[in-house]
Structure 1
């Protein structure tokens, strides 16, 4: 009962620590209540057409064909004759939702949206669409609704095709774009006979938005270098040409229409996106029409050192690069609507073909719009902070704001437009810095509270280990003489002071949790601090040098794991060092075969972190080889096991059935891949086999014997079958190699126990997971148990990063789930990918459960050590979280902390699952009732 209570308390504490990172770093930067700002002068355009070719890379559009022609001749002619072009630089994550939000609303990914998938933003935001008179949208059901949902009033009209049309196995996804162009054509034709619709179309300040998903879908399914992807670009180009002709005809060639063609993100050569590779972050931007500069010829070298101008044969045309969020104020300026109030974009003036006064007024409007956000953020923070604690942003105090605004207006009145524009740019830069300052105002205070709780919790766990599992000599402690009621009074006083302080500050409810949690934690530490006295007085009888050696080695090992989050190759170094363990500890002389097997297994597993995560071409033959390797190792075990302990007929039948199932699952990916290549879609039988395998993967092992290796083999076969269905190449070999090493680890730990004289040798084949362990056999912790716990944490990290890393989570290949579904569904696909990540976890967890049973050690004892090691890693990553540098640097550092904290919480829950998976048995007979003996 005490163990359950401890686990529940530990789970709550870690959930709080985990959630704290969302309040510290993952809070929405958006503020509301600002007044929309619009340029007072007449706009050059009455309407704007926005075309977003989802997933289009800049080089795919701009690079010429070998014969010197362009695959997008119309857009190329626009760039060379009557428009301005450049590269739009996107931010990580390079996904559809954040890309479109940046384009249309002018701000980058709201980090509080990390748990919302890619279909909607969790907070309300303003956008260019919201500020228009009317907006008509055609395209994907994943993108369009979020802008209609966030719009005030009822002036954003969406037309979407069914979600089932987004099928990666489609013979030709370009039909999605054809659907959009056809719908737009029908729309304008119907407007000719619909007087009310025609009247709406003729009003000023309208936007027509075309979202073209075909290129992205073809890129995922066939790769960006494929004929399908490249042909789709040509289809979009001809569709845009026809669209422009149709729009100009409808509005009588009045010259009042502006056009923007761009993309939300690019795509890697292997058909994925989400990370920060240039192929994902560089997207094309072509703008032409009313209010836009015509093509500007240049003879001087342009200030770009990326080499793209030469590759694209565009050195003679002025290139104007922008940040993706800059496109929103550009569109607002062209059609004269207010800038989106949440926009952080800076108006790119080189695109505008207008008077210097208009440019200066537009930049002034941009500056005031950003300043309004800053003032609102400052007011909110000032309102919730005690006056003597409030420290304003010194570069933009209220007096300096007034000075900036007054000076800018004077310069515009004096017609010193260049100076006014420069001043407004400076104001925007300072306001954006100020927004970050106030957004992170409470970060240090909250961080200190979390660190204090972290250190207190880790200290408490260490004291619990020393008190209950280390067998220290008990002595009367001076600390224990402190009355507990006095300690309680002190804690109550501290709680009252903190609560009053937070009440005065009008802090959110979560702040109370983060600031008050350290109080009971440190109360518990002080109550158990007498154990420290026991440790000090027991020191003379302890092997101090050995203790110091273990401490240094574990500290080095933890650092190695921390570095491995940044460089996966460090896991290879760690595995190479672990391979020497039997030779350095003398185990080789007592168990030569097992020591050599351990060494070989570590070295084989060490190859996986060196393999590329992204950019791997599918190799279904390796998936088949992994299935054959699984069958071979399983057959060898069954043969050797039969020599020692004959299998029951029911167990033999189950293993044979599972092996046949693995053989089928090894063949299904090959059959699916072949069918998709021939554009015949996903075979229904393959889909049924895949989902059935997934659904039964955790139930089938419960039918096998609870004998140690019998149950482990059943678990291995069941999980590997699912993993094969989720594999596309070399990663399919990972579970068999990992399982082989885990099998050797279990065996070699027996030799380690025997070498230390901790227990007599116990035949592993006779151990039964379901047997009731005699509590008298539960021994005290030894120093070597720290090594076992570290091995476990190391293998858990290896299981997570062995075939992937952060980038692979952001840029996973949809081909991994094609055996299950091909129609785009981010939640199901994400769930399947997470299950693929979890499978190696379960293999390691089951091994650790086995070692606990085999070494006659309380599961609580080892798990507490694991908890300390994991918490030390999490605390390390907490200090490594940064709020400066690139978005990718910041996001990666936060992700590391989230992963380690999630792993700790997840291991607590997974330990219960693996205990059931190893020790319980499901009986399907006896009157057809399920029974757990």
Structure 2
């Protein structure tokens, strides 16, 4: 019962530490209550046509093909004659929903919303569509609903196709775009005979939005260099040309229509997106029509030195790059609607072809709109902070705000437009910095509370290890009782003081948790202070040299693991060092075969350590790897069956299960190849392959429970998988078990059993459970190292972040982010289970309680998490910020996950389901 309580408390503490990162870094930056801002001058356009080609890379549109001709002749003519162009720089995550939020609402998606929804943003936000008089949208059901739901009133109309059309195995994904163009044409034609509709269309401040998903779908299915992807660009180009002609004809060529063509994100060469590679973050932007500059020729070199102008053969045309959020204020200015209230975009004046006064007034409105957000943010923070503790943002105090506004207004009245624009840009820069300042105002305070709790918890776990697993127990004394009462009253006093401070500050409920958690944690640490004094007193009997040596090695090892998150090659270094361990420890002569095998495996495993290596595999290579893995698994199973026939007895049930799994592996090795062939021929996903894939997934957790709980019988059932990495990892895990047995023998540890006689279901004799030794620190570190190796060995989080659906095509091809994401997560978990089961085996074979080794693992992982907590940054590029946060989340998730996964692996290794009576078969 005591162990269960410790497990539950530890789980609760780590969940709190995990959630804290969301309150510190993942809080919503959005505020409400601002007044809308719009330029007082008449806008140049009455209507706006926004076309978003989902998944279109900038180079795919701009770069000429091998023959030197463009694949988008109409859009190229717009760039060269009638419009302005540039590159829209997106931010991570480069996914469809955050991209469209940035485009249409002008802010980068609230990071607290990333895991809460897909089709709808769970927070309220303003958008260009909401501020328009009417907006008509056509396209994907994954994007359009969130803008209709967020609109006040009933003026945003959406027309979507069924979700089943988004099939990556479709014979022609460009039909999604054809559907949109056909629907818009039909809509415009119906307006000619529908007077009510025509009356609505004739009004100003209208928006038409076309979301074209075909390019993205073809990119996922066939890669961006494929003929399907490139031909889809041609189709979009011709569709836009025809549509522009129809719109101009419908409105009598009144010259009051503005056009914007762009993309939400790009795509990597291997058909994924979500990360920060330039192929994902560089998207095209073309603007033409009413109020927009026509093509401007330049003779001098432009400021862009990235080499793209030469590659795209566009050196003679002025290029104007923007941040993706800047497009929202641009569209608002063109049709004269208020800039979205939460927009952080800066109006790119280089696109506007209007008077200097219009530009100055528009920039002034932009500055006031962002300043309004700053004022609300400052007021909120001032209201919840004691006056003597409140420190305002010095560059934009209330007096400085009034000074900026008055001066800008006077400059516009004096027709000093350039100076007014420059001053407004300065005001925008200060306001954006101020928004960040107040948004992170409590970050240091919360961070200190979390670190205090973190260090307290880790110290407590170390003391528990020393007290309960290292022979440092001692009976309580009367002095301890007095100290406990004093500590208790000190804890009560600290709780009351912190609680009153938070109440006065009107802090959120979660602040109470983070600030009060260190009190009971440090109370528990100080209560065990006697254990630490006992350790100090017994220093003379301790092998200090060995202790310091282990401390130095573990510290180095933890740093190596931390570095591996940034440089995957460090895992290769680690594997190389571990391969030398048997030789350095003197075990090589006792287990030559196992040690040679270890060296060979770890060198082979190092091949998987290149960063994001799996992302570069095509479906063909994946199917080839699966086939090779199937052959390897069949070889291992056949060898084990032969070995069992020669040396041991085998239950008839286990024999049949083994033969069944061998046949199943053969079928599973064929399924990816067959699926790849079918998709290449555009025949879709075969139903039989889909059934086999889902059956395999469902049975993978149940079939092992039917087998014997003998160590090697059960492990062989668990490690069956479909890729090369897990069999190689399993091979290494089997040898690790053998070498640990040899290490026990060399150290003279009693209770060592033959591996062939070990049974998971037999409880460890409590009289044989030994105390922890220094070598057990190494065992725990190996476990953490192999967990990290398993995590980064299959592409894992990069695959999920990039959301490449190719790895789940054997299960489904119709776009479903939740099922696809779940399958990708299961792919990540498989190597974890292999390592966890091995760790369970080592606990059994070394006669240690599961709690003792796991406590050391907990300390190592918590030290890593604390390290990453200090590495979290809120400056630099968006990718740097997101990466630093994700590292902390990964390690904290791993700690919590391992606690829960240990329960699952215990069932997988020790549990058994008997469907029939089994007979033991003796081989002749």
Please, what is the CA RMSD of the aligned residues? 1.3
CA deviation after TM superposition for structure 1 residue 338, in Å: 0.3
In structure 2, the partner of 1:754 is: 745
Tell me the secondary structure at the aligned position of residue 55 of structure 2. coil
Equivalent-residue separation in structure 1 for 2:174 and 2:886 (angstroms) = 35
In structure 2, the partner of 1:811 is: 802
Residue 645 of structure 1 pairs with residue 637 of structure 2: no
CA gap 1:613/1:653 in 2 versus in 1, 3 angstroms: closer
Tell me the secondary structure at the aligned position of residue 650 of structure 2. coil
Equivalent-residue separation in structure 2 for 1:281 and 1:349 (angstroms) = 22
Residues 136-535 of structure 1 correspond to what in structure 2 (within 5 A)? 136-472=136-472, 474=474, 480=480, 482-535=482-535
Structure 1, 355-364 or 471-480: larger mean CA deviation: 471-480
From 671, 676, 680, the equivalent of 1:673 is 676
Equivalent-residue separation in structure 1 for 2:277 and 2:501 (angstroms) = 46
In structure 1, the partner of 2:902 is: 911
In structure 2, the partner of 1:621 is: 624
Contact 1:267–1:279 (CA<8 Å) still a contact in 2? yes
Equivalent-residue separation in structure 2 for 1:480 and 1:651 (angstroms) = 57
**TM-score normalised to structure 1 length:** 0.97
Tell me the secondary structure at the aligned position of residue 777 of structure 1. coil
Equivalent-residue separation in structure 2 for 1:670 and 1:805 (angstroms) = 22
Equivalent-residue separation in structure 2 for 1:754 and 1:878 (angstroms) = 40
Structure 2: state its 5+ residue gaps.
919-924
Equivalent-residue separation in structure 1 for 2:478 and 2:111 (angstroms) = 50
In structure 2, the partner of 1:729 is: none
Contact 2:752–2:845 (CA<8 Å) still a contact in 1? no
In structure 1, the partner of 2:922 is: none
Residue 736 of structure 1 pairs with residue 721 of structure 2: no
Equivalent-residue separation in structure 1 for 2:614 and 2:880 (angstroms) = 19
Contact 2:833–2:905 (CA<8 Å) still a contact in 1? yes
Equivalent-residue separation in structure 1 for 2:193 and 2:84 (angstroms) = 35
Structure 1, 688-697 or 57-66: larger mean CA deviation: 57-66
Equivalent-residue separation in structure 2 for 1:117 and 1:755 (angstroms) = 55
CA gap 1:536/1:479 in 2 versus in 1, 3 angstroms: farther
Contact 2:467–2:473 (CA<8 Å) still a contact in 1? no
Contact 2:800–2:825 (CA<8 Å) still a contact in 1? no
Contact 2:564–2:570 (CA<8 Å) still a contact in 1? yes
CA deviation after TM superposition for structure 1 residue 667, in Å: 0.5
Tell me the secondary structure at the aligned position of residue 332 of structure 2. helix
Contact 2:794–2:828 (CA<8 Å) still a contact in 1? no
In structure 2, the partner of 1:931 is: none
Equivalent-residue separation in structure 2 for 1:584 and 1:687 (angstroms) = 49
Contact 1:129–1:156 (CA<8 Å) still a contact in 2? yes
CA deviation after TM superposition for structure 1 residue 535, in Å: 0.6
From 690, 694, 700, the equivalent of 2:703 is 700
From 711, 714, 718, the equivalent of 1:715 is 718
CA deviation after TM superposition for structure 1 residue 528, in Å: 1.1
CA deviation after TM superposition for structure 1 residue 217, in Å: 0.2
Aligned structure 1 segments of 4 or more residues deviating by more than 6 angstroms: 475-479
Tell me the secondary structure at the aligned position of residue 551 of structure 2. helix
Residue 784 of structure 1 pairs with residue 784 of structure 2: no
Equivalent-residue separation in structure 2 for 1:877 and 1:585 (angstroms) = 32
In structure 2, the partner of 1:745 is: 736
Tell me the secondary structure at the aligned position of residue 192 of structure 2. helix
In structure 1, the partner of 2:657 is: 654
CA gap 1:477/1:542 in 2 versus in 1, 3 angstroms: farther
Contact 2:751–2:768 (CA<8 Å) still a contact in 1? no
CA deviation after TM superposition for structure 1 residue 477, in Å: 7.1
CA deviation after TM superposition for structure 1 residue 64, in Å: 1.4
Equivalent-residue separation in structure 2 for 1:118 and 1:318 (angstroms) = 37
CA deviation after TM superposition for structure 1 residue 807, in Å: 3.4
CA deviation after TM superposition for structure 1 residue 760, in Å: 4.4
Tell me the secondary structure at the aligned position of residue 116 of structure 1. coil
CA deviation after TM superposition for structure 1 residue 482, in Å: 3.6
* Residues 731-776 of structure 1: CA deviation (Å, up to 9, x unaligned): x210010000000011111110010011244111111111122111
From 843, 848, 854, the equivalent of 2:839 is 848
Contact 1:754–1:760 (CA<8 Å) still a contact in 2? no
* Residues 173-215 of structure 1: CA deviation (Å, up to 9, x unaligned): 0000000000001111111222221111111100000000000
CA deviation after TM superposition for structure 1 residue 615, in Å: 2.7
In structure 2, the partner of 1:42 is: 42
Equivalent-residue separation in structure 2 for 1:926 and 1:376 (angstroms) = 72
Tell me the secondary structure at the aligned position of residue 193 of structure 1. coil
CA deviation after TM superposition for structure 1 residue 267, in Å: 0.6
Tell me the secondary structure at the aligned position of residue 153 of structure 1. coil
Contact 1:472–1:538 (CA<8 Å) still a contact in 2? no
In structure 2, the partner of 1:66 is: 66
In structure 1, the partner of 2:858 is: 867
CA deviation after TM superposition for structure 1 residue 716, in Å: 1.3
Equivalent-residue separation in structure 2 for 1:430 and 1:238 (angstroms) = 44
Equivalent-residue separation in structure 1 for 2:29 and 2:556 (angstroms) = 38
CA deviation after TM superposition for structure 1 residue 54, in Å: 0.3
From 835, 858, 883, the equivalent of 2:874 is 883
* Residues 837-862 of structure 1: CA deviation (Å, up to 9, x unaligned): 00000000000000000111000000
In structure 2, the partner of 1:727 is: none
* Residues 559-578 of structure 1: CA deviation (Å, up to 9, x unaligned): 00000001111000000000
* Residues 603-653 of structure 1: CA deviation (Å, up to 9, x unaligned): 221221036343333312222011101111222122223322121221111
CA gap 1:495/1:260 in 2 versus in 1, 3 angstroms: same
Equivalent-residue separation in structure 2 for 1:527 and 1:473 (angstroms) = 14
In structure 1, the partner of 2:921 is: none
**TM-score normalised to structure 2 length:** 0.98
CA deviation after TM superposition for structure 1 residue 118, in Å: 3.4
CA deviation after TM superposition for structure 1 residue 478, in Å: 9.3
Structure 1: state its 5+ residue gaps.
725-731, 928-933
CA deviation after TM superposition for structure 1 residue 308, in Å: 1.0
In structure 2, the partner of 1:768 is: 759
In structure 2, the partner of 1:796 is: 787
CA deviation after TM superposition for structure 1 residue 300, in Å: 1.2
CA deviation after TM superposition for structure 1 residue 311, in Å: 1.2
Residue 687 of structure 1 pairs with residue 690 of structure 2: yes
In structure 1, the partner of 2:24 is: 24
Q: How many residues are aligned here?
A: 915
Contact 1:594–1:747 (CA<8 Å) still a contact in 2? yes
In structure 2, the partner of 1:664 is: 667
CA deviation after TM superposition for structure 1 residue 806, in Å: 4.6
Contact 1:672–1:682 (CA<8 Å) still a contact in 2? yes
CA gap 1:208/1:471 in 2 versus in 1, 3 angstroms: same
CA deviation after TM superposition for structure 1 residue 476, in Å: 7.0
Equivalent-residue separation in structure 1 for 2:746 and 2:287 (angstroms) = 76
Contact 1:268–1:279 (CA<8 Å) still a contact in 2? yes
Equivalent-residue separation in structure 2 for 1:412 and 1:606 (angstroms) = 65
Equivalent-residue separation in structure 2 for 1:772 and 1:302 (angstroms) = 75
Structure 1, 618-627 or 686-695: larger mean CA deviation: 618-627
In structure 1, the partner of 2:887 is: 896
In structure 1, the partner of 2:80 is: 80
* Residues 333-365 of structure 1: CA deviation (Å, up to 9, x unaligned): 000000001000000001001000000000000
Structure 1, 468-477 or 314-323: larger mean CA deviation: 468-477
Equivalent-residue separation in structure 1 for 2:657 and 2:322 (angstroms) = 62
CA deviation after TM superposition for structure 1 residue 110, in Å: 1.2
